[in-house]
Amino acid sequence: MTYTLGSYAPPPSVWEELKQELKTAAPELGIDDIGFASAEPFVSLRGILQNHRDKGYESGFEEPDLDKRVTPALPGTEPASLIAIAVAYPSKMENPPKSEPGKYRGIMARSAWGRDYHHVLREAMSRLEAFIRERVPDAVLESMVDTGALVDRAVAERAGIGFSAKNCAIISPKFGSWIYLGEMVTNIPFPPDQPVTEDCGECTKCIDACPTGALVGPGQLNAQRCVSFLTQTKGFLSEEVMRKIGNRLYGCDTCQIVCPKNRGKNWTHHEELQPDPEKAKPLLLPILDMSNREFKETFGDTAAAWRGRKPIQRNAVIALGNFKDISAVPKLSEVLLKDPRPELRGTAAWALGRIGGEEALNNLEKSMKTEGDPQVRDMLQQALAKLNADAATSENTRSESAAPVPEAAEEQGSAGAAAGKASAGNAAAEPEQPRPAIQGVEPMAVPEGGPEVLYYDELQSPIGTLTVCATEKGLCLIEFGSFHVKEAVIQQWCRTWSGNGGYERDEARLAPVTDQLKRYFAGELKEFTLPLDMRGTSFQLQVWEALKSIPYGTVCSYKDIAESIGRPKAVRAVGGANNKNPVPIVVPCHRVVGADGALIGYAGGPEIKRTLLAIEGITLGR
């Protein structure tokens, strides 16, 4: 059927009919969701955008004219409707390549995993335009994809695609926030759809997990602090930002990964958006050797290429520094001494300061003699000061290691001593005390003595990859999953318990932990002898202490634990504390079962709990 616009326009029911026809055809056009809204100006949005600008929260990539951002317009005619579309993209990668010593990898945000979404959306919008023009030849249509003047999230929210979340993303009830958005302005008077009434409720996980605190409030993003924005800039970055970028090469998915609305959502039906693992998690060192042509050949078809190779190469240097990859020192030294770009030289100086070692120190000193850029010289001085301070500390540690351990230190356990032995190359070193005391604290913003660094490593086990974390005092976290998967959870722990001091991989420091866990899984170890630094509420600490007394190869009930701590009526609360045990396996919360033997209340899930009990020779009926 062909529809005609004009003074004798068809009745609204005809436009409703066309609207339903478009909704039905959307999947064939490559569109996962489509919504319709009025083209009235977004009046209240203007004040929000002005306030955002006044506070300095803009990224600088936005349309500078606020009126254009809130007022739909068409050339030569008045707009009547807005059409919003959504295309879903994947959140998971099958068999992702893993970082290994000497072969460390970066990570691209999911929005850059497949083919550049700008092209995918534009092609979908073109098909939509053709579909409409075939039915309404005199229609005026103007499409926008990410680069248009209008705020695409405001259009999508008004058109019923989803609701505006606290992390500033649009969350679709069906697809979660793993969606690309596009919009179209038209003079066709489509009947509007109803906005989604769902919202985030009391959840603030995205705000809590944001690496740099860029989410300054619900629905309020300071783009100048957002890791996603910072990875796309081309200049120098601060020490704080470089540590928190980790191994991200482009973008950041943390606020989406932790969102409960995204749980279990992964979309694989658009083949062109599926990730190439070697592009989505590329090796870092080869990136530093890429010419402009090689960069375009490798990443040119992804959304990560739009800013060119310099930001990606700078971020690769940052990642090598955060990995403390000693094998990268020659290449980083080459960047420091020969690269014509000051931002790359300064970042290489920072990375060499993070990695340390004689070769790094020598090349930093060599660069200091010839470097003329003042900001690079400043970063060189900071790196040299750090390495010299580390060297002095190391010398003092060696001098003090021969002296008797002070009595107070013995009472606190020997986490520091164990870490020192491991760093010296004794991977199997264990603390001297068989059952060191748990170091517990109440929640705090910044620990006494300032923010603490969290050290981590990964371990392959019969129950999958484990991420183990420790402070200077001892083991504090064991997470079920790789660091990449659990990064947001670990970040949140840092913000809550260690003053947001950041984290770094340290295989030697965690060697005693991984060694004992391997022996446990092999059936060779029945009691762990590791210093612990468990942080929780007073009640949680009391429950976790009681869990330690459950012998290997036995089980008890939640009621038994409640009675053992003198709180017989607190069975439900005990179950909650048991579920939040930060160091499962070592503190054996898996040995607590329901009164009827049911495998309930375990953070790792019933199958992992069953496997752990089987290792200890326990088989339960349920």
* Of 494, 521, 548, the domain-final residue: 521
Q: Read off the pLDDT of each residue in 7-27 and give the average, rounded to a whole number.
A: 83
Q: Domain with 574 in it: what CATH number?
A: 1.10.10.10
Question: Do both 358 and 458 map to the same domain?
Answer: no
Q: How confident is the model at residue 618 (pLDDT cuts 50, 70, 90)?
A: confident
Residue 599 contacts residue 622 (beta carbons within 8 Å):
yes
Residue 391, pLDDT score: 64
Other CB atoms within a 10 A radius of the CB of residue 60 amount to 9
pTM assigned to the model: 0.66
Residue 604 has pLDDT above 80, yes or no: no
**For residue 606, what are the domain limits?**
538-615
**Cα torsion through 478, 484, 488, 494, rounded to 10:** 50
In-domain check, residue 268: yes
Residue 9, pLDDT score: 56
Question: Do both 234 and 374 map to the same domain?
Answer: yes
Calpha distance 543→583 (Å, rounded): 13
Q: How confident is the model at residue 1 (pLDDT cuts 50, 70, 90)?
A: low
In-domain check, residue 147: yes
The percent of residues in the chain predicted with pLDDT above 90, rounded, is: 67
Considering the candidates 168, 200, 226, 589, report the single residue annotated as catalytic: 589
* Of 492, 521, 550, the domain-final residue: 521
- For the question of residue 200 being annotated catalytic, the response is no
Question: Do both 152 and 50 map to the same domain?
Answer: yes
Question: Do both 40 and 174 map to the same domain?
Answer: yes
Question: Do both 495 and 564 map to the same domain?
Answer: no
CB neighbours of 218 closer than 8 A, spacing ≥ 6? Answer: 166, 200, 204, 207
Q: Read off the pLDDT of each residue in 366-380 and give the average, rounded to a whole number.
A: 93
Question: Do both 571 and 488 map to the same domain?
Answer: no
Tens of pLDDT, residue by residue over 239-251, are 999 999 999 999 9
Q: How confident is the model at residue 469 (pLDDT cuts 50, 70, 90)?
A: very high
Q: Spell out where 354-500 has E strands.
A: 454-461, 464-470, 475-480
The DSSP bridge partners found for residue 556 are 592
Question: Do both 327 and 433 map to the same domain?
Answer: no
In-domain check, residue 410: no
Tens of pLDDT, residue by residue over 214-227, are 998 899 999 999 99
Tens of pLDDT, residue by residue over 421-454, are 233 233 323 333 333 333 344 444 455 667 889 9
- Helix (H, G, I), strand (E, B), or coil: what is residue 493? helix
* Of 340, 375, 399, the domain-final residue: 399
Tens of pLDDT, residue by residue over 257-282, are 999 999 999 999 999 999 999 999 99
In-domain check, residue 6: no
In-domain check, residue 217: yes
Averaged pLDDT score across all residues of the chain: 86
Q: How confident is the model at residue 5 (pLDDT cuts 50, 70, 90)?
A: low
What burial letters (b/e) apply to 437-469, b meaning 16+ CB within 10 Å? ebbbbeeeeeeeeeebebbbbbbebebebbbbb
Long-range contacts of 242-246 (CB under 8 A, 24+ apart): 242/318, 242/321, 242/322, 242/347, 242/350, 243/322, 243/502, 243/504, 244/211, 244/212, 244/502, 245/211, 245/315, 245/318, 245/319, 245/322, 246/211, 246/319, 246/322, 246/487
Residue 142 has pLDDT above 90, yes or no: yes
Residue 444, pLDDT score: 45
Tens of pLDDT, residue by residue over 91-140, are 999 889 988 888 999 999 999 999 999 999 999 999 999 999 999 999 99
Q: How confident is the model at residue 519 (pLDDT cuts 50, 70, 90)?
A: very high
Q: Residue 151 corresponds to which tokens in the numbers above?
A: 């705020």
Residue 417 has pLDDT above 50, yes or no: no
In-domain check, residue 90: yes
Distances in Å between the alpha carbon of 349 and those of 286, 323, 359?
A: 19, 15, 12
- Helix (H, G, I), strand (E, B), or coil: what is residue 23? helix
Question: Do both 134 and 169 map to the same domain?
Answer: yes
Question: Do both 476 and 360 map to the same domain?
Answer: no
Calpha distance 322→244 (Å, rounded): 9
Which DSSP letter does residue 103 get?
B
Distances in Å between the alpha carbon of 244 and those of 320, 453, 494, 501?
A: 13, 12, 12, 10
Calpha distance 345→499 (Å, rounded): 30
Of 334, 328, 270, 275, residue with least CA distance to 299: 275
State how many domains the chain has: 4
CB neighbours of 205 closer than 8 A, spacing ≥ 6? Answer: 258, 259, 260, 492
In-domain check, residue 56: yes
Q: How confident is the model at residue 368 (pLDDT cuts 50, 70, 90)?
A: very high
CB neighbours of 53 closer than 8 A, spacing ≥ 6? Answer: 66
Question: Do both 507 and 551 map to the same domain?
Answer: no
Calpha distance 490→504 (Å, rounded): 11
* 3 state SS for 584-613: CCCCCHHHEECCCCCCCCCCCCHHHHHHHH
Q: Read off the pLDDT of each residue in 351-376 and give the average, rounded to a whole number.
A: 93
Question: Do both 369 and 476 map to the same domain?
Answer: no
In-domain check, residue 218: yes
Question: Do both 439 and 343 map to the same domain?
Answer: no
Residue 150, pLDDT score: 92
